[in-house]
Amino acid sequence: MFEIVKKEPLNATVTKMVVKAPLIARKAQPGQFIIFRALPDSERIPLTIADYDREKGTVTIIFQIVGRGTMELNTLNVGDSINDFVGPLGTPSHLDGLKKVAVVGGGVGCAIAYPVAKKLHKMGAQVHAITGFRNKELVILEQDFRDISDVYKIVTDDGSYGEKGLVTDALEQLIKEGNQYDEVFAIGPLIMMKFVCLLTKKYGIKTVVSMNPIMIDGTGMCGGCRLTVGGETKFACVDGPDFDGHLVDFDEAMKRGAMYRQFEAREREEECELMQKEVEG
Amino acid sequence: MAFERNMDPKKTPMPTQDAEKRSHNFEEVALGYTYEMAVAEARRCLHCKNKPCQSACPVAIDIPGFIGRIAEEDLQGAWEILSASTALPAVCGRVCPQEHQCEGKCVRGIKGEPVGIGRLERFVADWHNAREDQKTEKPKANGHKVAIVGSGPAGLTCAGELAKMGYEVTVYEALHQAGGVLVYGIPEFRLPKAIVAQEIEGLKKLGVKVETNMVIGKVLTIDDLFDMGNEAIFVGSGAGLPRFMNIPGENLKGVYSANEYLTRVNLMKAYQQDSKTPIQRSQKVAVVGGGNVAMDAARCARRMGADEVTIVYRRSMNELPARKEEVEHALEEGIAFKTLSDPIEVLGDENGFVCGLRCIAMELGEPDESGRRRPVPVKDSAFDIPVDAVIVAIGTSPNPLIRKTTPGLETNKRGCIITEDEGGLTSRDGVYAGGDAVTGAATVILSMGAGKEAAKAMDAYIKGKNQ
């Protein structure tokens, strides 16, 4: 059993949890993920590791309440235990040799972008971070990003906080200002990653995206997480979750991601209308 | 001999749930022999001197021995003989391909039907498991520690054998529940999960520790396990990686690997009415493949409410690799067989959901290396089957997580771990392997045989090292 040692709501639908998992904390790397089941009969859900502390033996996860599984996780509090918590799964992000990088996070994807940015910063790379949200209420990890970025931009769709606009606007501005990036990391909703990739393709900048498709086991067994990358079928759980964004078939991934949307929506309706607006809005 | 031999040329029939009724529930299909049926069937055995059945059993059960005890109505005696050779008799009695093993060699099968060895094995195991007064003596510890990777049939057997010898055994399972393919793959109606759970409980009583959520190769490596004081390690990580057809449309919504489909239905319990596991409720399902996994997936789809389920197989009914009983049960349950057909494209609708499977007709040509006649496409024979789900059950290969993280562990080009002999020694000192991780997808009983042999080899290795 995996004890929750800290729980903190980051906004109305996003929660941060620090979980006691010494074996996972010992091996975790940015880009890797865990699979959890909150209760003994919950669904298995993958979540990218947001942070880890090898000495304290803890792993931090940040999740958005989307369906039943994340709802159940959110019912647990400090002192409670998560029934199953397995990892670190997937291939770590390749960060070696990078000197100047733009890290782009969208919404709850910022939780995944953060450990990448943090590690790059620790390695001594120049980090330009851009995080985007729909509105001010949904902003997360602002201070965390500020602490590790050489340049930090925050944008909102409606202009209620930071600059008004999309992450792609902010990124293009930085590129046009003459910033030459070794690589761009884009982590967020599929549609955001797709448009970041269209932009960086235009400028010929290698772009890595982190894919988070539906999966069960996370070890290559179910094949549910398959994606088309460069015309080949890949499993996000073992071949990824990081992929060359210029090769990913985002349209297919978006369709596959919507496979159980009705299931998720039904679970949310039963729960809380306000939350549904947040998630789907 | 205190009884009269039963010379009925036919097996005592197995009581089964009515086909129409069972195709809507997940309860066990075969109900098991009664005491009278078992004794009558046991009395069909001729007790051949050379025991051809035993030599065809991968774990070499003394088959005439245990059957003789049933015939004499000594069930405890039958249990003792059976359990001396197999750790999982309730499982094997249900899922072994007996027609290719013990029963295939039975002399009674020459002029009639062979003795129902599998059914009798199941009977004895169920009789034993139903008793409340069963005792398990925890063996005396020998002070040595071993680790088992994977809790499927190979790992559980190896664990049981080593525990009986006094080893401190820890079994590591990647999923949240122990049992491997016995719990995620084989469905409830063929192998009730309560039986697997009971077998695992039995191992725990022997002192075996089972740790779930432990993906070896990720959480811990093989080298970590050695650092933790294990003197030998058995890798029984199975063949869990699904193969796909590599045809257009395979990533449409509604195309499942059999692994994913069966895992959702079985392990994640989508078959229960109040289950929270998302699964597509399909009306018309095509299952591609002809093995046991294909039969399992088809019969699960039927039970999940599909009106039409079609097995699409590229050879003919004669070449189906599935266990005979499973094919018969599938036919009884109304599963259609579209044989000599090979999928070339999955068709999708405007929302990306599956709406059909395009196939071409095949004919059988010359025999290939497997000895079976090779299917050859018939020109201009494409046809469409309207379906809303496709389940791909064309085989699996070993998972690469362990070979990728274990320096010096050699594998072949199909990703199978290379072993030196039947003891399962790999290219790494102290590391043994067996089951599907070595052979590629095979059967429960072959895995058990490998686990058993490896346990002996590991014991010899550790004893040799400590002399």
pLDDT digits (tens, 9 = 90+) for B85-96: 888 889 989 988
Query: Mean pLDDT score of chain A, rounded to an integer?
Result: 90
Residue B169 pLDDT level (bands cut at 50, 70, 90)? very high
Return the minimum-mean-pLDDT range out of A89-103, A207-221, A236-250, B273-287: B273-287
Contacts of A209 (CB under 8 A, 6+ apart): A185, A186, A187, A193, A196, A197, A242, A243, A245, A248
Residue A267 pLDDT level (bands cut at 50, 70, 90)? low
Query: Mean pLDDT score of chain B, rounded to an integer?
Result: 92
Residue A109 pLDDT: 92
| CA B295/CA A18 separation, integer angstroms | 44
Residues from chain A that touch B246, judged by Cβ atoms under 8 A, are 233
Q: What is the pLDDT of residues B352-377, one digit of tens each?
A: 899 999 999 999 988 888 788 889 99
Per-residue pLDDT for B393 more than 70? yes
Structure token digits, residue A61:
């996860």
How many other CB atoms sit within 10 Å of the CB of residue B413? 5
Residue A259 pLDDT: 72
Residue whose tokens read 């679970």 = A267
Taking CB atoms and an 8 Å limit, are B401 and A238 in contact across chains? Answer: yes
CB burial of residue B283 (10 Å; 0-12, 13-18, 19+): middle
Residue B438 pLDDT level (bands cut at 50, 70, 90)? very high
Per-residue pLDDT for A261 more than 90? no
B175 Cα to chain A: minimum distance (Å): 7
Longest dimension (CA), chain A: 53
Residue B134 pLDDT level (bands cut at 50, 70, 90)? low
Per-residue pLDDT for A274 more than 80? no
Task: Give the mean model confidence (pLDDT) for residues A195-210.
Answer: 95
Task: Give the mean model confidence (pLDDT) for residues B437-462.
Answer: 92
Length of chain A: 281
pTM confidence score: 0.89
Taking CB atoms and an 8 Å limit, are B268 and A221 in contact across chains? Answer: no
Taking CB atoms and an 8 Å limit, are A224 and B276 in contact across chains? Answer: no
Q: Kind of pairing, strands A232-235 and A226-229?
A: antiparallel
Looking at chain B, the whole-number percentage of residues with pLDDT higher than 90 is: 74
Per-residue pLDDT for A99 more than 50? yes
SS3 B464: helix
Task: Give the mean model confidence (pLDDT) for residues B337-345.
Answer: 97
Residue B124 pLDDT: 96
Residue A269 pLDDT: 56
B183 Cα to chain A: minimum distance (Å): 14
Strands (E) located in B339-382: 341-348, 354-367, 373-377
Taking CB atoms and an 8 Å limit, are B241 and A220 in contact across chains? Answer: yes
Q: Is A237 annotated as belonging to a binding site?
A: yes
Residue A36 pLDDT: 95
Residues from chain A that touch B276, judged by Cβ atoms under 8 A, are 41-43, 68-69
Residue A92 pLDDT level (bands cut at 50, 70, 90)? very high
Residue A281 pLDDT: 37
Structure token digits, residue B293:
């996994």
Q: Where are the alpha helices (DSSP H) in chain A?
A: 22-27, 68-74, 110-123, 142-148, 167-176, 190-203, 236-239, 250-257, 261-271, 273-280
Tell me which H or E stretch contains B117. Answer: helix B117-130
Per-residue pLDDT for B401 more than 70? yes
Nearest 10 degrees: Cα torsion B289, B118, B159, B128 = 140
- Of the candidates B149, B167, B162, the residue with the CA atom closest to the CA atom of residue B210: B149
Structure token digits, residue A278:
């947040």
Per-residue pLDDT for A273 more than 60? no
Residue B10 pLDDT level (bands cut at 50, 70, 90)? very high
Contacts of B409 (CB under 8 A, 6+ apart): B222, B402, B403, B417, B426, B427, B428, B431
Residue B285 pLDDT: 96
| CA B437/CA B426 separation, integer angstroms | 12
- Closest CB to A223 among B214, B257, B275: B257
Per-residue pLDDT for A275 more than 50? no
Residue B467 pLDDT: 76
- Closest CB to B175 among A24, A217, A223: A217
SS3 A75: coil
Question: How many contacts, defined by CB atoms under 8 Å, are there between A and B?
Answer: 104
Residue A222 pLDDT level (bands cut at 50, 70, 90)? confident
How many other CB atoms sit within 10 Å of the CB of residue A235? 23
Q: Is A197 annotated as belonging to a binding site?
A: no
Q: Is A222 annotated as belonging to a binding site?
A: yes
Residue A213 pLDDT: 85
Task: Give the mean model confidence (pLDDT) for residues B15-30.
Answer: 91
- Give the residues across from A78 on adjacent strands: none
Region label for B51, one of left (φ > 0), alpha (ψ between -120 and 50) or beta (otherwise): left
Task: For CA atoms B1, B3, B4, B5, give the dihedral sign.
Answer: negative
Q: Is A64 annotated as belonging to a binding site?
A: yes
- Of the candidates A51, A2, A45, the residue with the CA atom closest to the CA atom of residue A23: A2
Answer for the pair B175, B267: CB distance below 8 angstroms, yes or no. Answer: yes
Residue B61 pLDDT: 93
- Give the residues across from A242 on adjacent strands: A210
Q: What is the pLDDT of residues B98-120, one digit of tens each?
A: 888 999 999 999 999 999 999 99
Half-sphere exposure of B452 (CA within 13 A, CB side): 17
Residue A279 pLDDT: 47
Contacts of B462 (CB under 8 A, 6+ apart): B144, B146, B167, B231, B232
Tell me which H or E stretch contains A159. Answer: none
Q: Kind of pairing, strands A81-82 and A2-9?
A: antiparallel
Q: Is A79 annotated as belonging to a binding site?
A: no
Per-residue pLDDT for B437 more than 70? yes
| CA B66/CA B38 separation, integer angstroms | 12
Residue A268 pLDDT: 54
Residues from chain B that touch A69, judged by Cβ atoms under 8 A, are 276
Q: Is A82 annotated as belonging to a binding site?
A: no
**Considering only alpha carbons, which residue of chain B is nearest residue A220?**
B241
Strands (E) located in B220-283: 232-235, 241-242, 255-257
Per-residue pLDDT for A277 more than 60? no
Answer for the pair B308, B336: CB distance below 8 angstroms, yes or no. Answer: yes
Residues from chain B that touch A218, judged by Cβ atoms under 8 A, are 215
A229: which DSSP letter? E
Residue B417 pLDDT level (bands cut at 50, 70, 90)? very high
B52 Cα to chain A: minimum distance (Å): 38
CB burial of residue A191 (10 Å; 0-12, 13-18, 19+): exposed
Residue A107 pLDDT: 92
- Of the candidates B61, B77, B60, the residue with the CA atom closest to the CA atom of residue B69: B77
Answer for the pair A233, B244: CB distance below 8 angstroms, yes or no. Answer: yes
Answer for the pair A130, A102: CB distance below 8 angstroms, yes or no. Answer: yes
Q: What is the pLDDT of residues A112-136, one digit of tens each?
A: 899 999 999 999 999 999 999 999 9
